[in-house]
Chains A and B, each alone.
Chain A
Amino acid sequence: MLFSSPYRIYSSGDHSITIEAGNQIDTKINQEIISLFHDLSANRIRGVKDIIPAFQSLTLIYDITICKKEAGNQSVFTFLSALLELRIKQPIAIANAASRRINIPVCYDSSIAPDIALLAELHTLSIEELIEIHTGKEYRVYMIGFLPGFAYMGTVDQRIVTARKSVPRTFVPAGSVGIAGEQTGIYPFGSAGGWQLIGRTPITMFDPKNEIPCYLQPGDEVRFFSITLSEYKNWGQS
């Protein structure tokens, strides 16, 4: 059975239902959420079109008409609510602590890391120390959202926790690696954005031509490693 902590199930729209556990970002709860995601993906509820895990919540997007056929006289929300209650009380295999371990190259050269000098100064670190801290830890992918393939990872070492920029940039290039509060992430596409940019990866984080277009998935454990500017420029060409 999942969720030893209090949880609640609520309507998040007339075609959407959410289960939420606790009110903080917690690795164990996130693991349970991802386990529930895998379980519901393998044993699909008829009419459910999307299963969206987040930090400590999971949302089902459903086809009202198809679900109503199963729900009978009850409302679809009541029907799905009961189904979810039942599902989390049944034994569910908790996904392995780390489903996948992935190493991602990042170039921290100031020429493509517009905020790194500022952050080092702010935290009274040398740029080298900051890089060492950022690459010195494994990060969990808690969820994917905001943009296709944008992985919310955490949590960064307390020494480099930094608030978002007060005025977001109108354009952040694809591959930019950033910090926002305790989180770290990679912009898969050029986009407006407020994260503090400390590097850039040559890896394509989202490729629509691939069958699984996303480089990262919720539950992955990610470690960054530092590469030079010339390695960055020639990545994938050797």
Chain B
Amino acid sequence: MSIRIHKSGLLDTLQDEGRYGYQHLGVNPGGAMDRIAMHIANALVGNQPNETVLEMHFPAAEILFEETLLIALAGADFSATINGKELPILHPVLISKGSILAFGKRKYGARVYLSVQGGFTADTWLNSTSTNTKVNAGGFHGRALQKNDQLLLNNPGTFSFVFTDHAFEVLPWKAKTAELYTTNSIRFIAGAEFGNLHNQSIVVMKTQVYTISRDSDRMGYRLQAGPLTTLSHQEMISTAVTRGTIQLLPNGQLIILMADHQTTGGYPRMGHVITADLPTLAQMQAGETFQLQEINPEQSEDLFFEQEMNLQQLQNACNFRLQEYLKA
């Protein structure tokens, strides 16, 4: 029961919701950059929300399916194909044994997530299967996937489906994602050193347009915009930082910490991107632009609950449809 990497991609790693409980030892959480896409990909094939998925950047890997499997793709749209025929994302799909999944042009997004029913067999390290490439632990031998790697599967269902003219069958329901991502500004709550910004810089921070710089990755997004200045130079003592923390670098530019962030940091904290908007940010890549909008912590919590509720409803609907389909 396996799939095989036919051709490697830029950065393809196994991820779950992240590794928590060890940050006091300097072990960063990691995990899927876009938790919504991970959740949706899993929901479509009937998995638990945090089942291990394959996170792929652009250009993504080519994958050979060595069994007939139920899979789904969610997140970015990289023009997926099966044996050269167009494959829609956000649908559960039955793929016949021997088929090859490949990708073409990047339409939108930065990371696509592949789920298989039952999940991938992955190394668990400190209670998580997320790949930590620094320590080389978790996921697939603690590293990004390479050509010819064989990924074993936990316990995919067995399908006696008879494929007709295609090597795959797209099941006829699609996950609606419009309400789950934001199309407007990326929202943040004020950080501990926000008040140390110049009055004018406060205005600038909330009105200017940020471009995501080339040297952005799973650790953090470096932003390019007009430099911000503070009232006084504060010598900072390092504290814990977390996903979404917006730090002000000495050159006046901002950096937003992402999944593979360090556990502690000593730069002034201007704000924190709200958890509900991190998936939207995770699907933006170098060169793309956005603005920042300040909201209060209560609103941030409410937006998160609303999003979780929508995801839960989506999960329930997917489970229902899948059960009905498999019965028929």
Contact = CB atoms under 8 A, between A and B. Distances in A.
A65 B308 contact: yes
A14 B297 contact: yes
Contact of B263 (A20, A145, A188): A145
A196 interface: no
Contact of B242 (A15, A152, A217): A15
A146 B239 contact: no
A206 B27 CA distance: 10
B264 A143 contact: yes
B131 interface: no
Contact of B24 (A12, A51, A64): A51
B298 interface: yes
Interface in A157-191: 188-189, 191
A121 interface: no
Given A64-B304, A213-B126, A12 B192 contact: yes
A58 B275 CA distance: 21
B189 A65 contact: no
A104 interface: no
A208 B24 contact: no
A64 B307 CA distance: 12
A50 interface: yes
Contacts of B301: 14, 64, 68, 75-77
A16 B246 CA distance: 14
B137 interface: yes
B240 interface: yes
Interface string A1-27: 000000000111111101010011100
Contact of B275 (A14, A20, A24, A208): A14
A147 B272 contact: no
Interface residues of B, number: 45
Contacts of A20: 192, 239
A59 B134 contact: no
B264 A54 contact: yes
A222 to B, nearest CB: 16
B26 interface: yes
A50 B127 CA distance: 13
A13 B191 CA distance: 7
A18 B26 contact: no
Contacts of A189: 134-135
Given A148-B135, A218-B24, A13 B238 contact: no
Contact of B25 (A10, A49, A55, A213): A213
B272 A13 contact: yes
Contacts of B24: 37, 50-53, 144, 218
A13 B29 CA distance: 15
A149 interface: yes
Interface in B191-215: 191-192
Nearest to B192: A10
Nearest to A20: B239
Given A37-B24, A50-B24, A189-B135, A208 B240 contact: no
B173 interface: no
Contacts of A224: none
A206 B29 CA distance: 16
A18 B20 contact: no
A214 interface: yes
Contact of A146 (B26, B137, B237, B269): B26
Contacts of A147: 26, 134, 262
Given A14-B189, A52-B24, A213-B25, A148 B134 contact: yes
A150 interface: yes
Given A20-B239, A65-B305, A14 B300 contact: yes
B23 A52 contact: yes
Given A15-B242, A18-B240, A214-B26, 9 more contacts: A14-B244, A14-B274, A52-B23, A61-B242, A65-B308, A75-B301, A145-B240, A148-B132, A213-B27
